[in-house]
Chain A
Amino acid sequence: MWKWLHPYAKPERAYQLCNTLLPWFALPAVVCLVVGTIWGLAYAPQDYQQGDSFRIIYIHVPSAMLSMSTYVAMAIAALVGMVWQWRTAYMAMIAMAPVGAVMTFIALLTGAAWGKPMWGAWWVWDARLTSELILLFLYFGVIALYTAFEDKQQAGKAAGVMALVGVVNIPIIHYSVEWWNTLHQGSTITKFDKPSIATEMLWPLLLNIFGFALFIALVTTMRLKNEIIRREMHRPWVQMLVKQKETNDAV
Chain B
Amino acid sequence: MSGLVASELSCIKRDRVLFDRLSFSLQSGQLVYLRGPNGAGKTSLLRILCGLSQPESGTITWQSQPLGEHWFKDLIYVGHKPGVNGALTAIENLAFWCRQHSVSASLDHLYHVLAELGLVGMEDVPCRTLSAGQQRRVALSRLWLKSAKVWILDEPFTALDVKGVAQLEDKMKAHVDAGGAVLTTSHQALSERAGTVRFFDLEYRF
Contacts and interface: CB of A to CB of B under 8 A. Distances in A.
A/B contact in complex, CB under 8 angstroms: yes
Interface of A: 150-153, 231-235
Contacts of A150: 14
B111 to A, nearest CB: 41
Contacts of B16: 234
A76 to B, nearest CB: 22
Interface string B186-205: 00000000000000000000
B130 interface: no
B14 A151 contact: yes
B131 to A, nearest CB: 31
B22 interface: no
A23 B43 CA distance: 45
Interface in B153-182: none
Nearest to A152: B15
Interface in B1-15: 12-15
Interface string B7-30: 000001111110000000000000
A232 B17 CA distance: 10
A235 B205 CA distance: 12
A152 B12 CA distance: 10
A232 B14 CA distance: 11
Contacts of A153: 12, 15
16 contacts: A150-B14, A151-B13, A151-B14, A151-B15, A152-B14, A152-B15, A153-B12, A153-B15, A231-B15, A232-B15, A233-B15, A234-B15, A234-B16, A234-B17, A234-B206, A235-B17
A231 B206 CA distance: 14
A127 to B, nearest CB: 43
B44 to A, nearest CB: 11
Given A152-B15, A153-B12, 13 more contacts: A150-B14, A151-B13, A151-B14, A151-B15, A152-B14, A153-B15, A231-B15, A232-B15, A233-B15, A234-B15, A234-B17, A234-B206, A235-B17
A235 to B, nearest CB: 8
Interface in B92-110: none
B168 to A, nearest CB: 32
A107 to B, nearest CB: 34
Nearest to B57: A85
A152 B206 CA distance: 18
B192 to A, nearest CB: 40
B165 to A, nearest CB: 33
A235 B17 CA distance: 9
A234 B13 CA distance: 12
A35 to B, nearest CB: 42
Contacts of B206: 234
Contacts of B15: 151-153, 231-234
B7 to A, nearest CB: 17
Contacts of B14: 150-152
Nearest to A85: B54
A235 B16 CA distance: 9
B51 to A, nearest CB: 16
A150 B16 CA distance: 12
Contacts of A234: 15-17, 206
Nearest to B13: A151
A234 B16 CA distance: 7
Nearest to A232: B15
Interface string B42-71: 000000000000000000000000000000
A234 B17 CA distance: 9
Interface centre among B13, B14, B15 (most CB of A within 10 A): B15
A231 B56 CA distance: 14
A150 B206 CA distance: 18
A235 B56 CA distance: 15
Nearest to A230: B15
